[in-house]
Amino acid sequence: MKKIILSAAILILILTATFNSVNAASAQAEERVIVLFKDKVDKELIANNGGKINRELRNLPAISISVPSVALQGLSRNPNIELIEKDSIVKVEGQVSDWGIDDVKAPVAWSSGYTGTGVKIAVVDTGISLSHSDLSVAGGASFVAYTNSYNDDNGHGTHVSGIIGARNNDIGTIGVAPDSDLYAVKVLDSSGSGYLSDVIAGIDWAISNQMDIINLSLGSSTDSPTLHQAVDKAYNNGTLVVAAAGNSGLINGNGDTVEYPAKYDSAIAVAAVDSSNNRASFSSTGPKVEVSAPGVSIYSTYLNNSYTRMSGTSMATPYTTGILALLKQQNPALTNIELRDKLDQYVVDLGAAGRDTLTGYGLIQAQAQPVESIKTVMSVTTDKDSYLKGETVTVEATVKDSNLNALNGATVNLTITSPSGSQTNAVQTTDSSGAVVFNIATNKKTKTGTYKINVQSSLSGYSSSNATTQYRIE
């Protein structure tokens, strides 16, 4: 079978810049270590040895513990433990924004409360460093043959992820959408290359896991019908696909050098500009270039809890992904097609009027426009009209939008007013069917009479709504 290698779009130009990163380990009065288990974490074993759990990991059978030093030797001999290592202290300098953050006006959206909250982004790349203090990985998968881990062993995916969503935590740097949910989809190996089939599998995973945006900072000069189908499938399922235009551009900007998958209509092809908003000399050109974003000497997260500067359309792509995450939070009811239209509208035109082959429609820009609240519809029912003392009252409430689509993640506040006027309150969050269920216990002391129920919903981007009903206790 022919092996088609996809190389991360960063390969054409990588700039090395000096930066300060301080790694320091401080001696602890109490031993703080990381315990990696061969299979499952054994919390009872740790407790029996006087250990206290500091942190649990979602994706690894490992925990950070504080434990008396005398217990370490015995723990290290336990057949269920793979290894024990020191939980070192790592420090970096204070938070620094990359020049591109201001260039795309991300702080304008932040000031209005838009930070990408709730937007799921699949970074289809070399993985993401799971131990980086400035990144939070919500989940992921690996499709390379040599590891099941989606931890980054190259650095490219970590750099891309920091541009999208490095946390606003007073260290390192900050991403365009610092509260977005990053998912590491590892399809490229430690050298930044991978099989085409692995990339397709990564896109397929993103579709199955209902990602809002797929970031593809990678490319190939070879077209693939299967890759084309995968990108089309994602887009037709409502996912935004953002891809690097490529680093194969000529200095004079002539020719059609846009790579795949950016060249597909279902993908947003992103070109790179420098800090003066001039097209980067390496940035691929052609009629498929849709927008442009910062892509020269971009400061972001890297391996070993560090930071570095890189250049390429690989860097411009996550800037665009981040802006789309802000737009998605601002406009939760819009389709991916409508969000793409907004992205193309909110630009600074850099070249010839309108769309051109060098920078597309222009430089992407964040917006601070208020969200137009979408109307919601609530309903509430009880399983019976009347109850005997000692029976359980089951209350079900549903929340839907104006098109009667179920709303997942809406907060529902329940208030029950008794015959005497006293109130009982409860709060739950709707599931994927837009429903919540409250079970209210009664006993022989419960007063007889009519109980009034009021439920009220709230969800960002949607108007509040309420519904009422009542039941009797006989």
Please list the active-site residues.
Answer: 125, 156, 314
Are the beta carbons of 166 and 135 closer than 8 angstroms? yes
Q: Which long-range contacts (CB under 8 A, 24 or more apart) does 425-434 make?
A: 430/398, 430/399, 430/406, 430/457, 432/406, 432/408, 433/398, 433/406, 434/398, 434/399, 434/400, 434/405, 434/406, 434/407, 434/408, 434/410
* Residue located via tokens 């137009």: 372
DSSP 3-state of 70: helix
Within 8 A by CB and 6+ apart from 292, the residues are 270, 271, 272, 273, 279, 283, 316, 350, 358, 359, 360, 362, 363, 364
DSSP string, 3-55: -PEEEEGGGG----------------SSEEEEEEESSS--HHHHHHTT-EEEE
Nearest to 83 by CA among 118, 33, 40: 33
